[in-house]
Amino acid sequence: MYDLVIIGAGSAGLTSAIYASRAGLNFTVLEQDGFGGGQITSAFEVENYPGFHDISGADLAERFKEQAVKLGAKIELSIVESIEKCDDKFIVHTHFGDIIKSKSVIVATGAVPRKLNIQGEKEFTGRGISYCALCDGAFFADRDVIVAGGGDTAVEDAMYLASICKSLTLMLRGTAFRAAKSRVDKLLALPNVSVLYGTNIIKINGDKIVNSVLIKDKNGERSFDTNAVFIAVGTAPATDCLLNLPIEVENGYVVANEDCKTNVGGLFVAGDIRKKPLRQVVTAVADGANALYSAIEYLKDF
């Protein structure tokens, strides 16, 4: 039986792993994606993580992973389906039928992209609709593309896409960006970028691939030609593996203070899955350290 199982090898989970190795715990990290690294791997550029100016998200994640592995962390490819608590022990069930026992668990599964839930979105996903600019942008080099959303993710996706596409149109449903002003100013200074405020995409149209969207603004509805739509309208916490536990959530996020303790003793949450006001790499790594500190305190009394 492990002292600790860490679920998720993103910024938060890898930080917990770095601290767990240094604390000499018997632990493992379970990650469902072959590469790992979490959401930050799809960021074109990260400029607000102290000590690393202008590093790509993938490179930053790779450094986190290298550091964790160098210190002795074992990262296993595994999809966690559910977690049970029996007496004082946790039983982690994986998609491959494995059963992993542990005294404590840190869940750092992050968040997944939200959908627009409009007609044509599902049908054209992978055929002009994408939730990852860095993964799919190259397919639309020298073409006209749209980014939906006005948060940091949308602006970062747009920065990258503007560097390879012919034209980039950002569509915001509201009248203001949520993203950091410095990044928005940099984006809007680019010659092939334009913004449509107060604009909702209500339908995706195409034949085999996307060729236009139906948009609605204060003047009514109209068609807008495009080759692709990159959807960046926020994220939803990845809590599926917690459904069998009586865990307290609010608006989908797991309730836990800065100590990352949930209402289930011995189970901690770190990163974007936790209810908190600011979701950034720097707050995810802070959670990773705090969750591990709380796990050590818990294990002392086990």
Check: CB of residue 292 under 8 Å from CB of residue 1: no
Binding pattern for the stretch 90-129 against ligand NAP, x by CB under 6 A and - elsewhere? --------------------------x-------------
In whole angstroms, what is the distance from residue 64 CA to residue 17 CA?
Answer: 10
- Cα torsion angle, 259, 261, 266, 272, sign: negative
Rg of the chain taking only CA atoms, in angstroms: 21
Catalytic annotation present for 135 = yes
Q: Name the residue whose CB lies closest to ligand NAP.
A: 151
Binding pattern for the stretch 132-151 against ligand NAP, x by CB under 6 A and - elsewhere? ----------------xxxx
In whole angstroms, what is the distance from residue 114 CA to residue 126 CA?
Answer: 16
Question: What is the residue whose two structure tokens read 């949450």?
Answer: 269
In whole angstroms, what is the distance from residue 192 CA to residue 174 CA?
Answer: 21
Rounded to a whole number of angstroms, the distance between the first and last alpha carbons of the chain is 13
> Does 173 help bind ligand NAP (rule: CB under 6 A)?
yes
Binding pattern for the stretch 176-195 against ligand NAP, x by CB under 6 A and - elsewhere? --x-----------------
Catalytic residue among 33, 88, 98, 135: 135
Q: Compare residues 211 and 280 and give the one whose CB is closer to ligand NAP.
A: 280
> Does 156 help bind ligand NAP (rule: CB under 6 A)?
yes
- Judged by the rule CB under 6 A, the positions of this chain that interact with ligand NAP are 43, 46, 48, 116, 148-154, 156, 172-174, 178, 232-235, 279-280
Enzyme catalytic residues: 132, 135-136
